[in-house]
Amino acid sequence: MNDEIPETHPRYKSLVIRERLRDFMEKGIVVPEGLIAHGRGEAFDYIFGEASQDFALESEKAAISLLMLSKNPVITVNGNVAALSYKEIVELHNVTGIKVEINLFHRSDERIKKIAELFQREGLTEIYGIHADKEIPGLVHNRRFADGNGIYSADTVFIPLEDGDRAMSLKNMGKKVIAIDLNPFSRTSITADISIIDEITRTIKNFIKIYEELKNLNESELKEILNKFDNKKNKVDAINLICEKLRYWQTDQKPHL
């Protein structure tokens, strides 16, 4: 698949991800709009130096703590998320028990079937959202369809890659929301209780490592991590880094963060 991209290329990982999204678009899993959405994320990642910054790692630690404290957490998966991270999401499910629900903006039975098969081939037996029997109040688009045993009844919903109004509707239902979005200004980043400003493939890999570090902590130790976490400060750090980087490129002053 990647034979023409030399591993020594300075932007190798980014080029491999682009190629992967194109391949999964040809398979009917990613929609063409998904490539545009990825481009928006990539532009932010370029500024962040294509690396998980401290503010990202802190939010990832808080997110794992919240997932471990939750009784019924669900990760919601769209075409881009499935294409980029299905293997790691199954691994995350295997270690944390998080449920996996397919929820698509450009919803079709055919895409749902293809995405479900991807996860099934990786060994995931229970996939939610195939027969979405509930609607999230306040939404008019396709993301309103939810599984009564999945997102609809979850206490924590983990939303990667979505700039939308669903996060607010889920919060209005009393749920905790964790988001992954490289864009700190997206509606989902603004609304989430924990806004992870990091690239999805790095985030899910970090999650598995962080889980290993935290898995023996008790409830009060996990709660302490959450209490110390300041989502607003983290978002401000991300925005400050963007400003510093832009200034650096203007003036050659090294960014502090």
66 vs 104 by CB, closer to ligand PTJ: 104
35 vs 214 by CB, closer to ligand PTJ: 35
Residue 230 C-beta: closest distance to ligand PTJ, Å: 21
Residue 18 C-beta: closest distance to ligand PTJ, Å: 10
C-alpha closest to that of 171 among 189, 193, 187: 193
Residue 84 C-beta: closest distance to ligand PTJ, Å: 6
Residue 11 C-beta: closest distance to ligand PTJ, Å: 14
Residues of the chain by 3-state class (helix, strand, coil), percent to 5: 55, 10, 35
Give every CB contact of residue 27 below 8 A, 6+ residues apart in sequence.
Answer: 114
Give every CB contact of residue 237 below 8 A, 6+ residues apart in sequence.
Answer: 53, 54, 55, 257
Q: In the bound complex, which residue of the shown chain has the CB atom lying closest to ligand PTJ?
A: 41
70 vs 78 by CB, closer to ligand PTJ: 78
| 68 backbone φψ class: left, alpha, beta (φ>0; ψ -120 to 50) | alpha
149 vs 188 by CB, closer to ligand PTJ: 188
Q: Which residues bind ligand PTJ (CB under 6 A)?
A: 31, 33-34, 37-38, 40-41, 78-80, 104-106, 161-164, 180-183, 186, 199-200
Q: Which residues pair with 178 in a beta bridge?
A: 158, 194
75 vs 222 by CB, closer to ligand PTJ: 75
Distance CA 225, CA 95 (A): 20
Report the half-sphere exposure of 45 (CA within 13 A, side-chain side). Answer: 24
Residue 37 C-beta: closest distance to ligand PTJ, Å: 3
